[in-house]
Chain A
Amino acid sequence: MKQLLRFFLKRSTWSIPYAIFLVGFVVLPLILIFLYAFQDAEGNFTLANFSKFISSPEAANTFVYSIGIAIVTTVLCILLGYPAAYILSNSELCRSKVMVVLFILPMWINILVRTLATVALFDFLRLPLGEGALIFGMVYNFLPFMIYPIYNVMQKMDHSYIEAAQDLGANPMTVFRKVVVPLSMPGVMSGVMMVFMPTISTFAISELLTMNNIKLFGTTIQENINNGMWNYGAALSLIMLVIIFATELFSDGDGDRASNEGGII
């Protein structure tokens, strides 16, 4: 009885449910994706799924196109989000927290609802759905994920760095270029990860905002799996995972700082 009690009071005991959950819903599926990707429908080892991807122009094109859309979205998010974060974090320009909340507010609403509303808005304004609408929708949906980490880093930035730069002879423009921008890079890296990765794999937004005319990589995976092509779908997922993992490694140079100071992740 006493031993049982001690078992339940140990802190490590409390982690068991989480461990079970993680194994069941994260590790196991990943292993399954990996196994399925290297098997044919009968369960024999094969590399056919990958050669199919490389040889079929359609899937490869979708893949390249998706990455292109993700890059465009991310760049637009930086261009729009960086000034916004700068203004929000500057107490002289923005005195109340209301602005911050207003920027973050869209995140409280379900992404599908927001996207459906965007479709309705485009219909109402008689704007065509398609590539433009897709990028608009993506930027609209992911912009808060770019603003928030940058805002966080900028807000915590020690004001004495700015004063030190002024003191050494930097005018306001130079202070921004040589101190504020480099010091806020960890926030930008966090923002890039939070925008770039989900935009590669998104499919609901593209389906709704292009009337299913433009296929993104996420859509391709979803279609294959829906049509019972489990092995091919798994291979495509694996390729996408590798790409995402690579971006993470690529940004790891600043990644140490990004994870320390970068706000929400």
Chain B
Amino acid sequence: MKDSNFIIELSHISKSFGDKQVLDDVSLFVKKGEFVTILGPSGCGKTTLLRILAGFGTADEGEIRIDGKDITSVPPHERPVNTVFQRYALFPHLNVYDNIAFGLKLKKVKDDEIELRVRKALKMVGMTDYEWRDVNSLSGGQQQRVAIARAIVNRPQVLLLDEPLAALDLKMRKDMQMELKDMHKTLGITFVYVTHDQEEALTLSDTIVVMSEGKVQQIGTPTDIYNEPANSFVADFIGESNILNGTMVEDRVVSFMGREWECVDEGFGENAPVDVVIRPEDIYIMAKTDSGMLEGTVQSCIFKGVHYEMTVTTPDGYEIMIQDYNAFEVGQQVSMIIKPSDIHVMHKERTCNTFEATMIDSTHVEFLSTQFVCNEQAGITGGEKVEVEVNFDRIELMDNKEDGMLVGDVRFILYKGDHYHLTVRTFDGDNIYVDTHDVWDDRDIVGVKIMPDDIRIKRV
């Protein structure tokens, strides 16, 4: 790929800390001059990826190229990248000028050129006349500006930014976002930006990389990511959304919330189970009329500054979130319209839990490192490898972890209009997907129980 215009090529990067896999086969290609944001919740591996790019960590597997050169095992001080650290990491024993000049002095740049470039960098971040200030006397925002100046003064090919605005207050953060975007335009260098703030990612980036659990979930422009989320995780993480279970009846027809809807998606096959995503601002709400597509009752209405956020329940018991400039009273009967192009249909990643299992004897099966009682299996001998399927809604969660057959903690909660879809992580790192009407919190420790009737055993 020598003739490619990619400046960064990360191929098949994997990394584990002990038993925990933080990055799982991540590949990422960045074009020259692009503003790329790696977005994900804390613990998704985004910072680890950035540190591997900077050279502070090494990947267990995979290859990193910058500008065509393999730098997988090049130490950080020889890489053509500079980093803006989350907590600035300005040298406390040096003043503003010497902090910014640090990199240039190491490169043996002439003194008068250093002075020129430092002044230019300071001007760029709006900190002219701060040269001789002690860095400890600066405010958080000013320190961040100096940290940015210290990185860009070296004219790196790639600038890495590790949640640089996380420590600033909202107003300051908004201002800095705009300045960063301008800076990116002026400098023309490639920015790789790490954040957990989806709004920041949408505002700043040319390309967003959504990560979760060490895997890339979707790569795309902000508009693509927002309008066409690849899966329910992305839909839930970026912006507000209603995510519902549905069935693709045929091309351009999807059924959910108890009726069939016209949509624009094709190629899912007939009667395929899908996830349907509708953004709350894409639902038109009005006082009850006959021309509505769906009816409901307003449950709550909260003023959010620009718009009102309402929850509406349908006669079938679905709860949907709607954002509109007009307020509707709680208890009011309303009608709703959804345009075909605003209905986003996504493949379901799975329709039931599937586990690899081993038969112990004809009535016992072992999976998830636990022995379960199952219905008598004729003709399957002990020791045989089988596949076990359990429906999402047939898994019972218990408050008291001793009541369960195994223990896990709730990792990801998705509200699906009339029930919650949870991901429960066992201590061995396996995922169990559960549909429930009960409310659980993130990181709740739960006992998991599966009844013999609900265990379907399939020969492999």
Given contacts A160-B89, A163-B76, A163-B85, contact A168 B103 (CB under 8 A): yes
In the assembled complex, which residues on chain A have CB atoms less than 8 Å from the CB atom of B77?
166-171
Whether a CB of chain B sits under 8 angstroms from the CB of A35 is no
Q: How far is the CB of B140 from chain A (nearest CB, A)?
A: 15
In the assembled complex, which residues on chain A have CB atoms less than 8 Å from the CB atom of B87?
158, 160
Closest to A254 in B: B93
A 151-167 to B, binary, CB cutoff 8 A, 1 in contact else 0: 00000001011011111
B 90-109 to A, binary, CB cutoff 8 A, 1 in contact else 0: 11110000000011001100
Instruction: Give chain A interface residues in 200-223, CB to chain B under 8 Å.
Output: none
Given contacts A169-B106, A169-B154, A171-B77, contact A164 B54 (CB under 8 A): no
Whether a CB of chain A sits under 8 angstroms from the CB of B56 is yes
Instruction: Give chain B interface residues in 68-126, CB to chain A under 8 Å.
Output: 75-78, 81-83, 85, 87, 89-93, 102-103, 106-107
Q: Classify chain B: how many residues form its interface, as a range.
A: 20 to 34
Q: Tell which of B56, B78, B151 has the most Cβ of chain A within 10 Å.
A: B56
Q: Roughly how many angstroms separate A167 CA and B150 CA in the complex, as a whole number?
A: 11
Whether a CB of chain B sits under 8 angstroms from the CB of A174 is yes
In the assembled complex, which residues on chain A have CB atoms less than 8 Å from the CB atom of B76?
163, 166-167
In the assembled complex, which residues on chain B have CB atoms less than 8 Å from the CB atom of A183?
91-93
Instruction: Give chain A interface residues in 156-201, CB to chain B under 8 Å.
Output: 158, 160-161, 163-171, 174, 178-179, 182-183, 185
User: A168 is contacted by which of B55, B75, B102 (Cβ under 8 Å)?
Assistant: B102
In the assembled complex, which residues on chain A have CB atoms less than 8 Å from the CB atom of B83?
163-164, 167
Q: Roughly how many angstroms separate A174 CA and B103 CA in the complex, as a whole number?
A: 11
In the assembled complex, which residues on chain A have CB atoms less than 8 Å from the CB atom of B90?
164
- Does B93 contact A182, Cβ atoms closer than 8 Å? yes
Q: Roughly how many angstroms separate A179 CA and B98 CA in the complex, as a whole number?
A: 12
Closest to A181 in B: B93
A 23-57 to B, binary, CB cutoff 8 A, 1 in contact else 0: 00000000000000000000000000000000000
- Does A164 contact B91, Cβ atoms closer than 8 Å? yes
Q: How far is the CB of A167 from chain B (nearest CB, A)?
A: 5
Q: Roughly how many angstroms separate A158 CA and B76 CA in the complex, as a whole number?
A: 18
In the assembled complex, which residues on chain B have CB atoms less than 8 Å from the CB atom of A185?
93
In the assembled complex, which residues on chain B have CB atoms less than 8 Å from the CB atom of A168?
77, 82, 102-103, 106, 150, 154
Q: Roughly how many angstroms separate A183 CA and B83 CA in the complex, as a whole number?
A: 21
Q: How far is the CB of B232 from chain A (nearest CB, A)?
A: 36
- Does A174 contact B106, Cβ atoms closer than 8 Å? yes
In the assembled complex, which residues on chain B have CB atoms less than 8 Å from the CB atom of A166?
55-56, 75-77
- Does A167 contact B82, Cβ atoms closer than 8 Å? yes
Q: Roughly how many angstroms separate A161 CA and B147 CA in the complex, as a whole number?
A: 12
Q: How far is the CB of B254 from chain A (nearest CB, A)?
A: 50
- Does A165 contact B75, Cβ atoms closer than 8 Å? no
Q: Roughly how many angstroms separate A164 CA and B83 CA in the complex, as a whole number?
A: 7
Q: Roughly how many angstroms separate A167 CA and B151 CA in the complex, as a whole number?
A: 9
In the assembled complex, which residues on chain A have CB atoms less than 8 Å from the CB atom of B154?
168-169
Q: How far is the CB of A64 from chain B (nearest CB, A)?
A: 34
Q: How far is the CB of B192 from chain A (nearest CB, A)?
A: 13
Q: How far is the CB of B247 from chain A (nearest CB, A)?
A: 51
In the assembled complex, which residues on chain A have CB atoms less than 8 Å from the CB atom of B85?
160, 163-164
Q: Which residues of chain B have a CB within 8 Å of any CB of chain A?
A: 54-56, 75-78, 81-83, 85, 87, 89-93, 102-103, 106-107, 150-151, 154
28 A-B contacts (beta carbon < 8 Å): A160-B85, A160-B87, A161-B91, A163-B85, A164-B89, A164-B150, A166-B55, A166-B56, A166-B76, A167-B54, A167-B81, A167-B82, A167-B83, A168-B77, A168-B150, A168-B154, A169-B154, A170-B77, A170-B102, A170-B106, A171-B75, A171-B77, A178-B102, A179-B91, A182-B93, A183-B92, A183-B93, A185-B93
